[in-house]
Amino acid sequence: MNKKYYYLLLPCLLLLFYVPVRHVLADGQTKTVYITFDDCPTGYTEEILNTLKEHNAVATFFILKVYSDERPDVVEKIIAEGHGIGLHGVGHKKEQFYQTEFSPLWEMDEVRVSLFQLTGQEFYLARTPFGSMPSLSRNQYKRLQNGGYILWDWNVDTADAIGASVSTEKIIRRTVTGIVREETPVILMHNMRASAIALPAILDFIDRQGYETGLLSECPKKPICFIDP
């Protein structure tokens, strides 16, 4: 990571050390944190992969077909480094994705088939653009379920996609607070610059608490799905 970012993160790290957030868990128990990245792969994915590797951490990457078509090598790298793959649709165009009863299913099918052709693996873990609420209808949800897709939303929103108005410090604070709050934290991040900068401090926190990171496909809990709580 660029050195200047470390100077930027130092106050945040110091802040985290002095916030009394250590969770006391019963003997032998640990907390598994599920980090997820939407809108993958991008120009920041490799930096994110390197940071995850440095921390021996895993994450789940939700793939957009228009992006994976451009960077199939990065998708292969995500898999080769032991991370999870989820489907996020074709082009992230809201009107198009939610247009008809079948359009969400068709978009997930399209990205699934293209990833199968690329990797030889079938992926059914999915997240609809902007999450399943409020745009996904009950009928669209049923079509996806019948297609075999398992929808996952999140319970920790880092707000990293808001844009330039969100500071790295705020992303870190929101994430850490959410990790402490939730029994099974499922973190929503994006493959963006702000997230790539915030990630080392978030992983430092997870390490310091003695928590683990896990793949969403291996989470034993019922999927968090806003439309089907």
Residues that bind Zn ion (CB under 5 A): 38-39, 129
Exposure on the CB side of residue 42, measured as CA atoms within 13 A: 15
Least separation in angstroms between CB 190 and Zn ion: 7
Contact in structure between 1 and 92 (CB atoms under 8 Å): no
DSSP string, 192-219: SHHHHHHHHHHHHHHHHHT-EE--GGG-
Tokens 């926190």 locate to 205
Those residues whose C-beta lies under 8 Å from the C-beta of residue 15, and which sit 6 or more positions away, are 169, 173
Q: How far apart are CA 227 and CA 134, in angstroms?
A: 8
- Of 39 and 160, CB closest to Zn ion: 39
Q: How far apart are CA 15 and CA 21, in angstroms?
A: 11
Q: Which residue's Cβ lies closest to Zn ion?
A: 38
Give the residue among 131, 146, 135 at the shortest CA–CA distance from 99: 135
Least separation in angstroms between CB 175 and Zn ion: 17
Least separation in angstroms between CB 92 and Zn ion: 5
Least separation in angstroms between CB 88 and Zn ion: 6
- Of 129 and 214, CB closest to Zn ion: 129
Least separation in angstroms between CB 191 and Zn ion: 10
- Of 67 and 211, CB closest to Zn ion: 67
Exposure on the CB side of residue 86, measured as CA atoms within 13 A: 26
- Of 129 and 178, CB closest to Zn ion: 129
Least separation in angstroms between CB 160 and Zn ion: 11
Contact in structure between 49 and 43 (CB atoms under 8 Å): no
- Of 47 and 153, CB closest to Zn ion: 153
- Of 41 and 129, CB closest to Zn ion: 129
